[in-house]
Amino acid sequence: MTATTEAKATNIVWHDGSFTRKEREDILGRKGFTLWFTGLSASGKSTLATALEQHLVAHGVSAYRLDGDNIRFGLNKNLGFSDQDRTENIRRISEVAKLFADSTTIAITSFISPFKADRAVARELHNAAGIPFIEVFADVPIEVAEQRDPKGLYKKAREGVIKDFTGISSPYEAPEAPELHIRTDLMSVEEGVRNIVAYLEKRELLTLSKGLKRESDGKSDVASKTVKA
């Protein structure tokens, strides 16, 4: 099945909520935004995203991961890996991430998202809505990714079993100016998470002080097991 972005619904009218996003943020005491991981397969997007989500939630911060493979089990199960389907995959995720962020949850997406133009669409959607969009480039040389190959996909791509495989038979267009550039072959998962949290705190999108207090008052065992930011 081929997806299309053509608008088919007519006679629809946007219904405003009864408060603004700012009012919602003030009431709930937190800000939503999207952290958009991009990178080759096995670059560490899911590993970093999972560690970050665990760290944030353990500190009482509302964060939710939208992961490439997981989303393809459900929402995007009708999409394959052709250029057109990859584009539609990213468009849908952008919209869903934007909704999570709008609701004041931190949306953490981990998709290869190999095409610059598609990532630009995701960014533009967020910009238009006034929602911060932070592109995180999980970067490793392809040789390292291929050596890691945790799902055995590079092997299958080399054997020609998988067509359109990013980095082998389909292009990966690296971001030119990502907000964060994490070389996962040069830093540990913990260092990666620390860098991301430090960046978010610097931009005043996040403060973990509340969570850190919980950690010391003994109410959260999970928090104490996670990375010290």
Ligand X SMILES: Nc1ncnc2c1ncn2[C@@H]1O[C@H](COP(=O)(O)OP(=O)(O)OP(=O)(O)O)[C@@H](O)[C@H]1O
Catalytic machinery residues: 113
Q: Which does 42 bind (CB under 5 to 8 A by kind): Mg ion, ligand X, none?
A: ligand X
Of the candidates 113, 120, 144, the residue with the CA atom closest to the CA atom of residue 45: 113
Asked if 211 is part of the footprint of ligand X (rule: CB under 6 A), the reply reads: no
Q: Answer for the pair 3, 88: CB distance below 8 angstroms, yes or no.
A: yes
Q: Is 146 helix (H, G, I), strand (E, B) or coil?
A: helix
* Residues numbered 132-171 forming contacts with ligand X, rule: CB under 6 A: 138, 148, 150-151
Smallest distance from the beta carbon of 226 to ligand X, in angstroms?
15
Q: What amino acid occupies position 74?
A: G
Asked if 184 is part of the footprint of ligand X (rule: CB under 6 A), the reply reads: yes
Asked if 178 is part of the footprint of ligand X (rule: CB under 6 A), the reply reads: no
Q: Which does 112 bind (CB under 5 to 8 A by kind): ligand X, Mg ion, none?
A: ligand X
The helix or strand, by DSSP H or E, that contains position 189, with its residue range, turns out to be helix 189-202
CA-atom Rg of the chain in angstroms: 18
Opening angle at CA 34, ends 29 and 38, nearest 5: 155
Q: Which does 188 bind (CB under 5 to 8 A by kind): ligand X, Mg ion, none?
A: ligand X
CA distance 107 to 122: 13
Asked if 43 is part of the footprint of ligand X (rule: CB under 6 A), the reply reads: yes
- Catalog residues that contact ligand X under the rule CB under 6 A: 39, 41-48, 68-69, 110, 112, 138, 148, 150-151, 184, 187-189, 192
